A and B are shown apart, each in its own frame.
Chain A
Amino acid sequence: MSEAEHARLSRRQVLRQVAGVAAGTAAAGLLAWRLHDPTGERGKPAEPELSLPQGGYAVEPSTVLPALGVATGQSVAALVKGAVDAIGGMGRFVHRGDVVVIKPNVAFERAAALGATTNPEVLRALVTLVREAGAREVRVADNPIESPEACFVRSGVQRAAVEAGATVYLPTPRDFRTLAVPGATWIARWPFFHRPFVGATKVIGVSPVKDHNLCRASMTTKNWYGLLGGRRNQFHQDIHGIIADLALMMRPTLVILDATRVLFRSGPTGGSLSDVRPGNTVVASTDSLAADAFGWHELLDRRSEPLPAYFEKSAARGLGKPDWKSQHVKRVQVG
């Protein structure tokens, strides 16, 4: 543009052009701001969020009954019954007509003897107890790491559950819905294995006692990880944070710590029988943190080490009492 043409531009023209450019820039900025979606949440289709019942599935706490029931012995059925009886019996937790979801740990395609999954005989005894207490329906559900069908079959959980009168729920992509967990750090909205929980009135977790490469121990609280869908492995970057979220997500009716075998090394996958020792113990409680802390000290035999960080994070949210020694513990010896 020549000097002469510059001279012909009036102040009004310049101001108008500047205003036009500014308006265009502002409009583009506004559009970018409106479309900004760093988490991708706004891009998801709107769907009704699922919420678990207020207060979870917990029963009324007792001021007189023990917080922990610990049964030791050889007979698996007697162990489960002994531990549950020690904290009031199954009748305290399950009533006639209840629909009960039982969540074992079936994460890996391993034989039961290798200790990486819930002992199917413990599950069998538990389903039987729940049935005897009058449950209308018992559902056994987990979302394993490996192929669900293969995990349920090779662990023996499928057969034990069906033979004891439960229905096994294997996950399919359609069975997940977004669950809202208010206050959670990582799973405030996250895909949840929902189908088994439709109409459920009680929830029982039954998990083995395992060493874990990341969080040091996998017991009743970590067990709820198996209800999550999506790319859940990303949570391993804050494993203790996600376990504290799981404690917030699920307030169960009862948890059973299956220490008939203890995978004390090379967890959570295990594989060698040399990494497993007999525990001959079952623990029952309404307090996951108390049960897990007992497992850490007495069953994994890690008394000299501090509890993993997820205990403190969960306790800070008022989700349990890791100091099991200050609580009423009833120990029973069974057959």
Chain B
Amino acid sequence: MGEGVEERIFVRPRKHFRRTYSTREVGVGGLLLLALGLVAGWIAWRGAHPDPELSSAVPLEHRAPASADRGPLPAGLAPAGWREQRVAVYDPTNVYEKIDGREGYYKSFGFQRLHALTLVASAGEPTVDLELYDLGSPQNALGAAAGEIPASASPRLNDGTLSLVDRNTLYLARGKYYLRAIGSAESPPVREVLDALSARFSTALPAAALPFSYDLFVPLGVAPGKVSYLAENAFSFGFASGVHLGQLPDGDTELFAVVARTAADARALAARFTRAFAEYGKPVSAPGGVSWAEDRYLARISGASAAGRLVLGVHSAVDVQTARALHEKLTARAASIPDSALVTAAAPPRQEE
């Protein structure tokens, strides 16, 4: 093997590959080694002196990060005699620092951002905590609100805003936003602030068209405040995502609708609902195109069928006749809703921590 043969892997016996070498190369090599040594030293030192935050509680100043970003919070929310405390902003990666244990509820409704702010009376008491959730879509905002509004309450729906002041709490959904304002007590000063907040946010937040479910259910006797939306796990069925619900005044019977991508998907999904309802009880024979099932424990009737891209169903009706009559009305009403209004519900974003 002659000199200068580049393919040599091992050079035996040891000798310089070239007759001469550059002192600059040696210098550069030395600097590189020094830099690598410094990096290794820094890693070793950091390993021996880790940031205490890695293994300790999240310190106070990080738990409620102050932010100049008010997001959709209107300016000047504190009425006379009250003051604002700092705004804190949370995203899916740190919302647990505010509502650990309940963040999953909002994440199931497509949680994107939370702006939190406290209003404090001059005397230090009472207080009103504002939690403004950006949930990405009107149906998520309305669904989250419906899940937290007390069952006995009747929220108002006015100009695209669903709102209710109940005792110490304001619930308000408008556009993709859901606002909860929580008074520290049930008192006239708190009530005044909640009413003012309701009026303010009803105009300050950007509106959006209501989901088609309002057009579908309200004319059939469902109160606007009883229209809701479950992003996932409706009726405890793992497959039942994006379910629009309307609870009738009897408090038990629910109308429901799901938008599928195609008519074939809708038929398949309706069949799954039928099978799932039957697993909880027994099939009940009745004329018409719907297979009804009676819950073995509650003796209530449920069933579903497809109509175009929609799955339309009745859940927990008192008897088959009632269920059939409601389903017929639901199907007739659905026929008047344009296909363009049927927004296919995507699976809610799962934002893992």
Residues of A whose CB lies within 8 Å of any CB of B are 1, 5, 8, 16-17, 20, 43-45, 107-111, 113-114, 143, 145-150, 154, 171-176, 178, 191, 193, 212-214, 218, 229-230, 232-234, 236, 265-269, 271-275
Contact = CB atoms under 8 A, between A and B. Distances in A.
B50 A173 contact: no
Which of B10, B48, B100 neighbours the largest number of chain A CB atoms within 10 Å of its CB? B100
Contacts, number: 129
A147 B58 CA distance: 9
Interface residues on B, range: 35 or more
Contacts of B60: 147-149
A98 B60 CA distance: 31
A175 B99 CA distance: 23
Interface string B1-36: 100010101100000000000000000000000000
B55 A230 contact: yes
A232 B98 CA distance: 13
Contacts of B47: 43, 45
27 contacts: A45-B49, A45-B50, A111-B185, A113-B184, A146-B63, A147-B63, A149-B60, A150-B64, A173-B56, A173-B57, A174-B52, A176-B56, A191-B56, A191-B57, A212-B101, A230-B54, A233-B100, A233-B103, A236-B104, A268-B101, A269-B99, A271-B180, A272-B166, A273-B168, A274-B166, A274-B169, A275-B150
Interface in B31-82: 47-50, 52-57, 59-60, 63-64
Contacts of A5: 1, 5, 7
Contacts of A229: 55-57
A234 B353 contact: yes
B50 A213 contact: no
B1 A218 contact: no
A111 B56 contact: no
Nearest to A265: B150
Contact of A17 (B10, B59, B104): B10
A17 B96 CA distance: 57
B186 interface: yes
Contacts of B9: 17
B265 interface: no
Contacts of A16: 10
Given A173-B59, A234-B353, A271-B169, A146 B105 contact: no
Contacts of B56: 173-176, 191, 229-230
A97 to B, nearest CB: 30
A174 B64 CA distance: 20
B153 interface: yes
B200 interface: no
Contact of B102 (A114, A149, A213): A213
B182 interface: yes
